[in-house]
Amino acid sequence: METHQHRYDRYRKTLAGEALPVALVDLDAVDANVDAVLSLVRESPGKTLRIGTKSVRSVDLVRHILHRGGPSFRGLMAYAPAEARYLAAQGFDDILVAYPTAQPADARLLAETNREGKRVSIAVEEPIHLDVLEAAAAPYGVRIPVVVDIDVSLRRLGGRVHLGVRRSPLHEARGVADFAERVASSRHLEFAGLLGYEAHIAGTPDQTPLGPLPPGAKRALKRIACAAVTTLRHEITAEFERRRLPIPLFNGGGTGSAASSLADPSLTEITVGSGFLGSHLFDHYDDFRPEPAAFFALQVTRKPAPGFVTCQGGGLVASGAAGPDRLPIPYLPEGLSLLDLEGAGEVQTPLAVPPHVKLAPGDPVFFRHAKAGELATFFRDYLLVRGDRVEAHALTYRGAGECFH
């Protein structure tokens, strides 16, 4: 196994002559992560994978992952209609937009893309979503595929205790089936399946000391939540069977819940995105730990005191509930740490340096972002690295002039 020092030396050699800051993706690590996900899928026959594109945000990199994954991959999961439209224009098909919209302009993009022969579906959960989509589909003479989104959060005490993200108002089997029948009866919409994403499980690391709960409590809570999700999804599939309403696909899961999601017989596919790039939030999961594959490099510009260096820039903070786990972490050379009083700053990031590490102004320091896809919002391209050479420059969405919200 490659040591941290060897990896640092290799990346440093690879970036010689490159202007910093820069973002890089190690293709060998990406391939290892794709293979690791595929090995999980092989243990669950009948399941397919969907790439969560918001965790990649680079067309070239999505193509690379699809090629490596082969027939186990079914399609893509986008997070906005405009992104789906863009991906369809790049030649991709079978795209599921995982977040609903009530904007007529978004609905028209979906209608146009489906009329052009691409299959782009979208999550729905409210009657207004259906009204907007139907109004857009009718003039184009198409049926827009829609996937009914389910809130699978853990509920206790009649809903007064809610553990999970606030998504769909649909969280009971009968209500989900009623809504799906409303879709199926539409002249302009097609019932394309179900989406039941367990964000409260996928987004909760097992071992990290950061956050409000100790690791033991997190594991216990996740076991309870996982059992509840599996039960709810089973109740939903049973209700659909009772009504003789086929479910073309049932999507769930994420990198942080890949193993348990693949074990759920109700699901036909799972989505993975961050697991291909290995952002640092996924270092602390028990079931699946991806290899770090995406980094950004800053230059050392100052040595303000013995045992410290200062890098230029670095304030690439992740979204979500504010906390130390949202900060980027210095990765190479090994042993560096952020300072509590400054963290990762917009113009400078000071680091504590252990005695065995020698850094001078001009040297690179390699950081890992907390979230995989958000790194791409700060850079125009990724340097795709293989061994000790740059194999290609892959434009990010930003570099391609695209911005999706």
Kindly report, residue by residue over 164-195, the tens digit of the pLDDT. 677 778 889 999 999 999 999 999 999 999 99
Q: What is the DSSP string of 144-200?
A: EEEEEE----EEETTTTEEES----S--SHHHHHHHHHHHHT-SSEEEEEEE---HH
Residues 6+ apart with CB under 8 A from 260: 201, 226, 230, 253, 287
pTM above 0.75, yes or no: yes
Confidence check: pLDDT of 211 > 60: no
pLDDT at 257: 80
Query: Which residues are within 8 A (CB) of 305 and not within 5 positions of it... i.e. 6 or more apart?
Result: none
Of 218, 197, 238, 8, which Cα lies nearest the Cα of 98?
Answer: 197
Ordered structural domains, the chain, with CATH: 27-277 (3.20.20.10)
Instruction: Quote the pLDDT of residue 321.
Output: 79
pLDDT score of 197 = 82
- What does the pLDDT read at residue 261? 86
Reading phi first (left if > 0) and then psi (alpha if -120 to 50, else beta), residue 74 is in alpha
In DSSP terms, 394 is beta-bridged to 382
d(C-alpha 331, C-alpha 360), whole Å: 17
| Mean pLDDT of the region 241-248 | 96
DSSP string computed for 291-348: PP-EEEEEEEEEEEETTEEEEE----PPSSS-SGGGS-EEEESTT-EE-TTT-S-SSE
Other beta carbons within 10 angstroms of residue 343's beta carbon come to: 16
Tell me the average pLDDT across 58-75: 95
Calpha distance 77→266 (Å, rounded): 19
Question: Residues 328, 314: contact at Cβ < 8 Å?
Answer: yes
Q: Express each pLDDT in 287-338 by its tens digit.
A: 778 999 999 999 999 999 999 999 999 999 988 878 888 899 999 999 999 9
Q: CA–CA separation, 272 vs 281, rounded Å?
A: 14
Residue with tokens 């409303």: 182
